[in-house]
Amino acid sequence: MESMGRDLLQDMIKGNPFLLAEDELGQAENVHEVLARAKGFEEDTILFYQYIREFLDDEETIRQMNAIIAEERNHICQLQAMERIRQRTSGEKPS
């Protein structure tokens, strides 16, 4: 089971849907796109950690993983706040 989990994790990392490409943020044309891409990255990271958590059986490790997931959710809240500030200062209507 451990070997299968390790192989699955390696396959996930190879496809790295949860990793930002080195130049992905640099390709963004404006602050809105940077914030949207960063938010997507955080959301993918949460999914990754939730997936990993399912393989854990040590209560302390699960607690730590939950703390990491909570911190990632906090990052999303911060990015959403930044987007609201950007919209207010640009006069753009919220979406």
Q: What value does the mean pLDDT take over residues 24-31?
A: 78
Answer whether residue 9 shows pLDDT above 60: no
Q: What value does the mean pLDDT take over residues 49-68?
A: 93
Element (H, E) at 19: none
What integer pLDDT is reported at residue 94 of this predicted model? 64
Which residues are CB-neighbours of 38 under 8 A, at least 6 positions away?
20, 25, 79
Q: What value does the mean pLDDT take over residues 25-33?
A: 81
How far CA 75 is from CA of 1, 12, 39, 70, 78, in Å, comes to: 33, 23, 8, 9, 5
Residues of the chain with pLDDT > 70: what percent?
Answer: 72
Q: Give the chain's mean pLDDT.
A: 82
